[in-house]
């Protein structure tokens, strides 16, 4: 297992800053997912951990060993890690066993030990019976497992996964997510998983970092990201949340039809009221009224888009078990919510180490 520490790490390409002063501590043995919109810097951060890029500033340590700072740079092959690419990066002329053995040959392991580790790694990913096949004879999910077995065979303390499920269909993605969870539990290795799909991140991760414009907006557990977002960006990005501008006085949030005591970071003053579909329900007498402006089916439920009255122009999503015609005036009850400051940015944008 390997603890990862980043201290004010930046990566610049000329005038462009891909990673901007990121500091975080990933506990040893964590399954850490890097999440964020396209171009936010998550893949650049993964490449810094892998040693495929040299940081412009800051320090990176893996397992307590500095691998990059102003005077030190450890090459990728000497960092003791495995990497699984989106493209699989398998040698087409080699068998499955040959691909898995490739890294072991680079380590100059004796043939008997090499064969034992190949069999062991293929058994972990459930492909021992396909050792003699070539990559073109495998399905996408099987090729992904071969790439993972190749990383596992060298017994790394850290495994990096760069959008590893992007080329798989929805059913295979779910199967591979279950495999990742199982293999992580069996090996105890630290996993860092880059994805733009928050459902994937929440399904496997013990810790999630949300990036935006090169910076780390919040690092936390999946539950905390949903329930206690640290910034408006996280509130809007995770779970398709919405933020409404409200005012709080003496701990009560002022809404057009109610005064509610809601949890969050604001007791008095301007605030963002953070709401997700699960936080709302249609009611006969709700705290918010509005007009249905759209609807769609989602996971067997009717997802209604409701434009609230007197609360700006941000539609709210709410799930309902019946279709409601567009144009209908409805009332919404608030079942849960979270308040964030609306002026300034007093909350920390980076995180200290979280419990493993």
Rounded Cα–Cα distance for residues 165 and 210 (Å): 19
Q: Is the pTM of this model over 0.75?
A: yes
Q: 220-244 pLDDT, tens per residue?
A: 999 999 999 999 999 999 988 999 9
What's the chain's average pLDDT? 89
> Residue ranges of the domains in the chain?
4-227, 240-340
- What is the per-residue pLDDT for 50? 93
**Percentage of the chain exceeding pLDDT 90:** 60
Q: Is 132 exposed, middle or buried (0-12, 13-18, 19+ CB in 10 A)?
A: exposed
Terminal alpha carbon distance of the chain: 11
Rounded Cα–Cα distance for residues 144 and 212 (Å): 28
Residue 268, phi-psi category: left (phi > 0), alpha (psi -120 to 50), beta (remainder): beta
SS3 at position 15 = coil
Write the DSSP symbol of residue 80.
-
**Percentage of the chain exceeding pLDDT 70:** 96
SS3 at position 222 = helix
Return phi, psi of residue 115, to 5°. Answer: -65, -40
Other beta carbons less than 10 A from residue 192's beta carbon: 27
Q: 324-336 pLDDT, tens per residue?
A: 999 999 999 999 9
Which of 63-67, 141-145, 245-249, 283-287 is predicted with the least confidence, judged by mean pLDDT?
Answer: 141-145
pLDDT band at 149 (very low <50, low <70, confident <90, very high): confident
- What is the per-residue pLDDT for 240? 85
Q: Are 225 and 238 within 8 A, CB to CB?
A: yes
In sign, the C-alpha dihedral spanning 13, 15, 19, 21 is: positive
Rounded Cα–Cα distance for residues 280 and 337 (Å): 9
Query: Which residues make beta-bridge pairs with 12?
Result: 17
Tell how far CA 58 is from the center of its chain. 23
Average pLDDT over residues 8-34: 95
Structure token pair of residue 13: 């390409």
240-340 maps to which CATH number?
A: 2.40.50
Which of 84-98, 129-143, 197-211 is predicted with the least confidence, judged by mean pLDDT?
Answer: 84-98
Rounded CA Rg of the chain: 24
| Fold for the domain defined by 4-227 | Rossmann fold (3.40.50)
SS3 at position 200 = helix
Rounded Cα–Cα distance for residues 28 and 68 (Å): 19
Rounded Cα–Cα distance for residues 36 and 54 (Å): 22
């Amino acid at each position: 297992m390997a603890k990862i520490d980043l201290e004010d790490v930046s990566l610049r390409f000329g005038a462009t800053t891909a990673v901007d002063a990121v500091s975080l501590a990933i506990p040893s043995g964590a399954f850490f997912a890097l999440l964020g919109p396209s171009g936010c810097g998550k893949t650049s951060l993964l490449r810094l951990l892998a040693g495929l890029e040299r940081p412009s500033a800051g320090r990176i340590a893996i397992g307590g060993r500095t691998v990059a700072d102003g005077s030190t740079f450890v090459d990728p092959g000497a960092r003791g890690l495995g990497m699984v690419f989106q493209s699989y990066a398998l040698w087409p002329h080699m068998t499955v066993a040959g691909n898995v053995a490739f890294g072991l040959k680079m380590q100059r392991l004796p043939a008997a030990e090499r064969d034992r580790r190949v069999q062991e790694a293929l058994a972990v990913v459930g492909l021992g019976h396909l050792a003699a096949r070539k990559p073109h004879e495998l399905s996408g999910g099987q090729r992904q497992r071969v790439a993972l077995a190749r990383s596992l065979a060298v017994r790394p303390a850290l495994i990096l996964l760069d959008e590893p499920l992007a080329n798989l269909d929805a059913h295979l993605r779910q199967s591979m997510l279950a495999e990742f969870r199982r293999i992580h539990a069996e090996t105890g290795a630290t996993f860092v998983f880059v994805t733009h799909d928050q459902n994937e991140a929440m399904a496997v991760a013990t810790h999630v970092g949300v990036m935006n414009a090169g910076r780390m907006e919040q690092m936390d557990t999946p539950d905390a990201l949903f329930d206690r977002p640290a910034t408006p960006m996280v509130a809007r990005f995770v779970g398709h949340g919405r933020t409404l501008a409200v005012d709080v006085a003496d701990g009560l949030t002022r809404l057009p039809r109610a005064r509610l005591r809601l949890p969050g970071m604001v007791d008095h003053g301007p605030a963002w009221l953070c709401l997700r579909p699960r936080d709302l329900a249609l009611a006969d007498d709700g705290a918010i009224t509005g007009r249905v402006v759209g609807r769609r089916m989602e996971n067997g439920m009717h997802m209604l888009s409701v434009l609230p009255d007197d609360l700006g122009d941000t539609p709210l999503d709410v799930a309902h078990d019946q279709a409601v015609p567009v144009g209908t005036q409805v009332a919404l009850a608030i079942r849960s919510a979270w308040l964030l400051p609306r002026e300034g940015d007093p909350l920390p944008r980076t995180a200290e180490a979280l419990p493993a």
